[in-house]
Structure formats: structure tokens, C-alpha cells
Chain A
């Protein structure tokens, strides 16, 4: 992988697009994860530290490590930052309360702060066409599993709607600061997330400029290493920081290691053949085919997340008469 060339393509894109958008710099929400950290590195390489603002948005359930790593990044890159505690906004929106109401249908004694709630998926992406089954999990403060129960459809959608307040509140803040400084918002969506719909529309999916959406997750690690990203960020288990009991993206959404997942996505996108996919992963060709079928279905069912608002067209209505 030619990391020098990739850096050049992305930083050129940042510089060029900023001019087109008539904005003076970039805002990026910093989560302490590899996607936002790498994006901030690229933004600084493109524009210099004075034209990049980092926004750190902890809330009462986010990992303290997220904030600490984001603060270290701000210091390392020498960029300005704003810290906004999202807890009061999320409380005002009823985000915690709405979620907890759902969880109490499964465990009446559920106590936020004491118990940690998460969603686990059961699926076999390489061995079965069965879509994933969603289970609500609740752990106590020691990490002991108290409950793992298949979640009902309406409870699941209600829970997702409530937790999506977090990503959308983050988006509101980065856009506030973007408007405040006449900056553009840099997105941090990577290719896995883009293709599989692992982002919240108008939440972490909201951005003016994207940098890494052409890169698979496993490629990000290579680029991060080449750019001198903090090793703690590289080693950190990816998390969305949305549900306190959510251990990792792998557990929640992907169900596979990133090398296998990315290989499947590359086959899906026609960059590799099934045979090459099998050779790269050590899986049987039938397993790769099954994986690709499952990824394709997931890509199709998340179309709404990637689609712009669907109108009749952008031209005056008269043209369609």
C-alpha cells in the first residue's frame, strides 16, 4: 500500500474542497478512535494546525479513555479544541430515559450506572444466509452477564432511535463550531462503515467533506502507522461509545475480524475474485461467497443511510411537466 500517495490524494482533496466550499478550515469530532485521529492527522497535514479545530464530546457514559486520547491528540497536533459535555443535552432530549424504558421491559431492576446495557449479534457471516439475531445484554459493574435475551423488533428500533441521539448530538456540536469559525465539517466514516451502513444518518454520517471513506478499516491501520498515530489509538478496540455495555464494533456489528471483513467487501466491490478472497483469508470459496452475499444484503438494506433526500429532481419542477 503506497501510503505516501494516499496521503497526497486525501490532503489534496481536503485543500481543493475547502476552496470550493468557501470555508476557512476544518472541524473534526475527536473520539480517541482510529478514524477521527487519522482524519485529524490528515487535516493537519493538509491545512496546518491553525486551520483545524478538534471537538471533544464526552457524556456521562462515554469511556474516559476516549476523552484522554482525544486530548493527547490535540496536544500532539497542536490544534485548537473545544470540549462540550453532551450529558445535559442528552438528558434534555430524554435519550437515556427513552433507552432505559426499553431496557426495563427486560430487566425491571435495571439501574443505569450500575448495570451496563449492550446489543449482541448472533450470526455466522461466512457460513449461513441467516440474518443476525439481536440480543439485549445487561452486565453488572463487574462485567458479569445478568441477561442476554432476544430483543423484540419494536424494542430494538426504539432502543436504536434513543441511542442515535448521541451521534446526532455530536453532529449538532461539530456543526455549531463549524458555523462559529466558518469551517467545514470533516467526516470520519471509513469504507466498511459506509458500505455496511454502520453510521447514523445526520449523526456521525453528517459531514461536508470525507477523507477516509475510500479506505477499508484494515488499510486505515497501515496508514495510521505510517503517519505516526499514537500506538494506543492503533491498539485500542474500536467502539462507538454509544451503549455502556458495548464492547466493540466487532461484537456489535461486524462479527468478523477486519481482514476477513475487508476481503469480503473487496470481493463485493469487484477488487478481488472469490478465489483471491479465499487465498487471502484461508476460507473456502463457498464461505467467501456466503460472506459476500451477506454483505451485499446488508449494503442494500442500509441504502437509506447513504441516500440523499429523494426528490423528484434538483431541477425546477417545470422541467418535469
Chain B
């Protein structure tokens, strides 16, 4: 059977099972827990089977999937490699809460692919190495550049990995009711089976399967809602109307006297808490609690529209001044970071040719676009469901899911005014993740849709974890051990080391994840600035300017990384501020500096030898030089 047939059958099969489960829920009252278990068991089972079927111990297969992945499948694999738990679970929520400013994520995480397409993807493929540090080592001669590359790759990938593992734990504990720590380890089985048995080859085909699950599950709830409301199956077109309806609701709620009264109660509560904080008799412990309470109360006291007679809600307002600077800076950091993340770049080593690498970047962005282009619609429909289904209903009639979701800590409904009616101000949002996870239930869709969302979230987290784990383990075994420590190592030994490090890294990540550090989410956003500032200048200059030499690249990578880290830590913990730039956008300083340093230091030091310069020129012309042959001969 060919690939297309296999994946068509697979997609139809997956949809079929979902429909069957929906029927079983409708007619036989299949319990929710069961639906959760079936979705999890089924999807993990598929990933494990793919892992076993595609196992390999051939170097080319293990590191770069035999460079035989057709453009469209590499596009899907990149899509799920790229879209993490954050894209799937959190992005729509961020949009719903932040409004226009949140769009920096949508644009940043897509616009970066153009940079990847024109500056890096096809050239890296032509160069034909195994890993990104491998390219740095070959281009800049010697081990120094390679080691800086390994260090940055692990720095960017590891925090990102912990976030994925945390995502797996959350999903499993919320939907199946397993303990968070158990959930983390259950999820890891799915990841390790693939990467250990078949390296890049298994990871690639699992990621394709995961992409199909994640995109289906993201689209289903919004398409169904859009159809119910407007008889229009394309939510991306219909949601302009939803935005307008939401604005009307927001204005109505702002004017409503009952809502106003509830907001006043919150306001008084916030004031009371603030007064107590100022009281010197209050203990430090108490103060922390009061600060949190005051923050919640202040948020709840805020009206959804800026004023009674505003024609447009603040949801769509474009930021000005510093807000606009941060919006643009963040968009820029996310774009460049996207083009500098090693686990994504490595995917373009796996296509059969330069031509396919180019086409593949296009497919990647198309598949990612499908989800990101839906996210703002998802956010709008979620707000709409809250406004129309939740607000105004009787507290006594609240459906059971409200109580069921309580332990998950996403949101809370409190009858502040004691009037028995749910006001918007009674809906306390604790995590904007509720948008993707709970909207199907807020909107009254069957539980099978929620189960589908669970399978999708799991696929998103696991597929990204797969790619990251492999990047870290290959960095250690191929670049650090084989290329630097023991160049005589046999293939069997190298692969064994990779496998050991896959398991060790996964266990360390799972262990760190069990601490549930709040800082992790923030660190993930930082990874983009770090990747952008460390890799992007050295890779782009290395490909595009033959005069770039080892000294320049090293100085540029270290400066970019150091300046970015300096500003991150300074602005986050010590109140430093350059032009009012937010910590997430730290790369906006390190990145241009990295380029300038590479340029100046390269010019001040001797040019690279002729062979290296010829290599750089030959990479411009597909198959014209011996670049890839020369590099591969070393393996």
C-alpha cells in the first residue's frame, strides 16, 4: 500500500471511531471516563505500533529518516513537531484574554517560516549534515562552534521539553482522573517507544499520524458551533459576525445594573484586601494570599467594554506607543526564533532533495496555518458561549460539568451577589486554557468532542516532545560523543548512547515536570529569543556570506546568547528595562548584535580557507558541488 492510501484509511478510521463513540454516548450513556480512556488508549496504541513497525538501526534512517520523506508528509510532521501543547491548548485562550496583542503569537509563529524557507531550509538540505551543531562544526571547522551549538540546542530544547511533559500530565489527569505524576509517565511511554526504536524515521511517521489527530480535533468543535449558529461550516469566515455579537454582549453586560452591582462588590473586596496588605500587623504569609485575592477581585471588577457607550470593545483595540513596540518586538523574536529552533530545522534534512525541502516548508506552513487561522475563531466562539450559555443562567441549574471542572482549576463560578443568577463577573477565569479545553462543554456539545480535544492535545504535546528529545539525544551522542570525544566509536555504540540519553533525558524532564514550576511557561516563550539570538545569525551568515569565519561565528553566537540572557534575567528579576521592552521579547537586542559581531569580528580576522569558501558557494546550487557528499563521507 502506498503512503497516501495508508494515511487516508487511518484518517477515515479515526473519524469512524469518533462517530461510533458519539453514538454510544448518545444511545447507551457511555460514561465520560470511558470515552477518555478509549481516546487515550487508542491514540497511544497507534503511536506505539508505528514505532515498532518503523524501527531501524541504520545511521541514515535513525538520524535523518533515510532522507526519504516526501515534502507533504514532512510538512505534516513539521506541523505537529512545531505545534506544541502551548499552540494547541493555550493559544486560543491567550487570544481571548489578550485580544489584539495576543496576535503577535499567531503572526510570529507563522511568519518565521518564510525566513526559514528563503534563508535556511533548502541550503541546509543541500549541505546535508545530520544535526544543526553538525552544520556549525563543518562550516566553522573544529569543535568550538559545534559545542556552542550543542549547548544552545540543549538550552532551548530542554525547557521546551519540560513544558510538553507538563502538558501531557495535565491532559491525562484532567480527562482520565489519573494522578498528574502517573499521567506524566504514561505519556512518556508513547514518546519513548518511537524515538528509541526508530529515531527520526519512527518519529517522522508518528508525527504525521499525530498531526492528523490534532488538526481534526481542533477543527471539529468550531466547525460544529459555526454550523449550529450560522449554518456555515467555515468558522474562519463566520466569526466576524461572532465578534460583532460579542461586542454587543460586552456592551450590554457593561451597562447591566445587576452586573454593575456584582462588580461593585468585587471592587469593595479588592479595596478591603489592599487596606489589609498595608496594615503592618498582617503577616507576610497573609500578605501573599491577600495580594492574590486583590488581583482576582480587581480583574472581576473590570467591565468587559471600556465604557458604556464605546462602539468597539477593548478586545480589538490596537496597542499604542510602548504596547506597539512590544507587539512588534515580540512578533520579530518569535519569527526569528521559529527559524532558529534546532528540532524544526533538522526536519528539513529528511527530504529527498533540495526541491522537496523548498516545497516542504510551504506544506509545513500550510498545515500550521490550518490551526492558527482557526485559533482566533475558536477564541471568539468561546467568548460567545460564555456570554450566551453561561451568563444569565440560574446558579441552581448549572450543568454538572461546572462542578466536574472545578478540581482542574481552570475556572470557578461564584454567586457573588447572591442573586442566584450567573453574572459575567461571577465567572472567575483562573487559566485561559479553559477556552480550548472547556468550550465544547460550555457550548453544550457531547462529551465525545471533549474526548477528541484531549486526544488532540495529547498528540500535540507528544509529537513536540518526540522531536525535542531526539534533538537533545542526538546532540549529545552524535555531536558531543562521536564528533568530539570518540571519533572511532562504532555505529552500534553511537546508537546505544543515543537510546540511553533519550531515556535519561525523558526521565529527567518528567522528574522536573512533577515539581509544577510556574516559571516553565515563561521559559518556553524565552526559548524563542534564545534560539533566535544564538543560532539564526550564525546559520544565516554561514550560508550567505563566505567570508564568515570561525572567530566571527563564535563571537556572534556567544554575544547573542549572553546579551539575550542578560536582558532576560535583568528585566525579569531585577527591574531592568531598555525602551520598556518585555522579557519575552529579549531577543530583539541580542539578535541584531549577533549579526553585527559576526560581521565585524570576521572582517578583523583572516578569511576562512578556500575549501570552506568553495563549499559555501557550492551550497547555492543544488547538486552542483560535492558539499553533501563531502560531509556525508565523514559518517
A and B from one assembly? Answer: no
